[in-house]
Amino acid sequence: MKKVAYFLVIFAFVLLTLSIWISSVYSNQYLEEKTFYASANFTYNHLGFDVSNSSLNFGYIPIGSSSTREVVYFNHYDLPVYVYIEAEGELSDSLIFESPVFVEGKSERVISFTAFAPRDSMPGFYDGSVRFIIKPAK
């Protein structure tokens, strides 16, 4: 009888350890990922807008000023999520945004992105990408 009890204790310990390990591995998993193209044209004397709804285009931005675009993220999941945002490319250093962004289940949130053309920047076309990584809120 002692051997059976000892075996059950060891088995329960192994099962508990395995379940903790599996939950820690899958806790870093994300629900989905979306990547958007982003661009801006830094100029000395032009101002212009790009109203594309398939990418994050800021149009012409006079050096020393900024332009803001908004993205509406709709959380189609029943559970609340965090939207982690990452920017890459030439434009990434000029982008200002909040991350992570909390969104309740079955609701939407407006996320603002501001592209800033610093006074010491060179005129030209800058582009990159913005990635949304959707993870369940814990």
Q: What is the pLDDT of residues 3-16, one digit of tens each?
A: 777 777 677 777 77
Q: Is 135 exposed, middle or buried (0-12, 13-18, 19+ CB in 10 A)?
A: middle
In three-state secondary structure terms, 46 is coil
The predicted structure's pLDDT at residue 19:
66
Longest dimension (CA), the chain: 88
Cα distance between residue 23 and residue 138, in whole Å: 12
Q: Which CATH architecture has domain 31-136?
A: Sandwich (2.60)
Cα distance between residue 81 and residue 126, in whole Å: 31
Q: Give 55's pLDDT tier (boundaries 50, 70, 90).
A: confident
Q: Where are the domains of the chain?
A: 1-29, 31-136
Instruction: Kindly report which listed range (17-26, 28-37, 123-132) carries the lowest average pLDDT score.
Output: 17-26
Answer yes or no: is pLDDT of 20 > 70.
no
pTM of the model: 0.76
What's the average model confidence in pLDDT over 49-65? 83
**Other CB atoms within 10 Å distance of the CB of residue 61:** 22
Looking at residue 122, the DSSP 8-state letter turns out to be: P
Answer yes or no: is pLDDT of 110 > 80.
yes
The predicted structure's pLDDT at residue 21:
55
